[in-house]
A = this chain, B = another copy of it.
Amino acid sequence: MAVNHRFQLAARPAGMVKRSDFTYSDDATVDDPEEGEITVKVLYISLDPAMRGWMNEAKSYVPPVGIGEVMRAFGIGRVIASKDSKFEVGDLATGGFGVQEYATSGTKGVTKIDPQGAPLPVYLSLLGMTGMTAYFGLLDVGLAKEGDTVVVSGAAGATGMAVGQIAKIKGCRVVGIAGGKEKCDYIVDELGFDAAIDYKGEDVKAALRTHAPKGIDVYFDNVGGDILEAALSNLARRARVVVCGAISQYNNTEPVKGPANYLSLLVNRARMEGFLVFDYAERYDEAVREIAGWIAAGKIKSREDIVDGLEAFPDALVKLFKGENTGKLILKVAES
């Protein structure tokens, strides 16, 4: 029987995640599927900011990962055994397969993908949860429309890149906030953002006044903290602030910093709204069709930052939370 290497949660992290928060075990074997289940060989694993929340004790929109459980993760796998008539051996699929080499599970939430349609990693980025998050957050929660000024933080991250490019397609003026000159150049030169603000080198508040002189109509927030405050200080009337995440706050040991200037919502008759992409599951098809069309037409680019090998998982997670990735951070576990 094949060994199933995997990462189990060993401890609830205090502050930044670290390798010792996980146990890397090599003593598990691959389970056979029972009726209605499949077994997949995991090829790619998606690294997502939300993972940090899943590691905390507190119940959120999903239960926390239990100590000793395999770390939760979305990924792409190849079916190697199936007791569900909808899946055949050889099929490729996305699902919540966890941080391990093989996953045996029911097929709820598992979706077949077409390897001819796009390179596999794109199914974890633009055509996966990342793209869905950008699409529904920007358009359904943020109500972005032609002529709006859209500002997105974490703009060189996977979701931010998608948000900015979709906003451009929809006729918005787009300003991205990212860390460092390289990322800022990339989103302007390669992705067509109208402007970029380097939060590591610029006064974000002042730069927003320069680049969004009529105020921000939609602020898509991936980071929270001081950048959220800077955005709130420059809202246009009836602005929509989309709360997608707050990566600057997830690894804090101090309490989360709330936006001291939230009364800007009052003065500007503005709205701050949170959302979870899973609530849009029934409409994923619609978004995938539209995004796939944009990819085919060369209107939107996917960029993945691929790290090799299951064992690199904890380091890759730290890379994510330090903002060292550009584009979608993905762990490549196996070739095929």
Q: Given A245-B266, A256-B261, is A273 in contact with B271 using a C-beta cutoff of 8 Å?
A: yes
A258 within 8 A of B: yes
Stretch at the interface among A73-81, A111-119, A187-195, A274-282: A274-282
A272 within 8 A of B: yes
The answer to whether B275 and A266 have CB atoms under 8 Å apart is yes
Smallest CB gap from A62: residue in B: B267
In the A-B complex, the 9 residue pairs with the smallest Cβ-Cβ separation, listed nearest first, are A266-B274, A258-B258, A265-B274, A258-B260, A271-B273, A258-B259, A272-B272, A243-B266, A256-B260
Q: Which residues of B contact A264 (CB under 8 A)?
A: 274
The answer to whether A266 and B262 have CB atoms under 8 Å apart is no
Distance from A153 Cβ to chain B, minimum over Cβ atoms (Å): 14
Residues of A in contact, count (CB < 8 Å) = 32
Q: Which residues of B contact A243 (CB under 8 A)?
A: 262-263, 265-266
A200 within 8 A of B: no
Most chain B CB within 10 A, of A257, A268, A274, is at: A274
A218 within 8 A of B: no
A267 to B245, CA, bound (A): 10
A326 to B206, CA, bound (A): 43
Main DSSP-derived SS at the A contact region? loop
Q: Given A272-B272, A272-B273, A273-B272, is A61 in contact with B258 using a C-beta cutoff of 8 Å?
A: no
A273 to B235, CA, bound (A): 13
The answer to whether A271 and B269 have CB atoms under 8 Å apart is no
Q: Given A256-B260, A257-B260, A260-B256, is A60 in contact with B244 using a C-beta cutoff of 8 Å?
A: no
B-contact bits for A236-252, CB 8 A (1 contact / 0 none):
00000001111001000
Q: Which residues of B contact A256 (CB under 8 A)?
A: 260-263
Smallest CB gap from A245: residue in B: B266
A109 within 8 A of B: no
* Residue from B229, B258, B265, B269 in contact with A257 in the complex, judged by beta carbons closer than 8 Å: B258
Q: Which of A44-77 contact B (CB under 8 A)?
A: 60-61
A172 within 8 A of B: no
Besides A61-B267, A257-B258, A267-B276, 16 new A-B residue pairs in contact (Cβ under 8 A), listed by A number: A60-B267, A224-B263, A243-B263, A244-B266, A245-B266, A255-B260, A256-B263, A257-B260, A262-B262, A265-B272, A267-B274, A269-B275, A270-B274, A271-B271, A271-B273, A272-B272
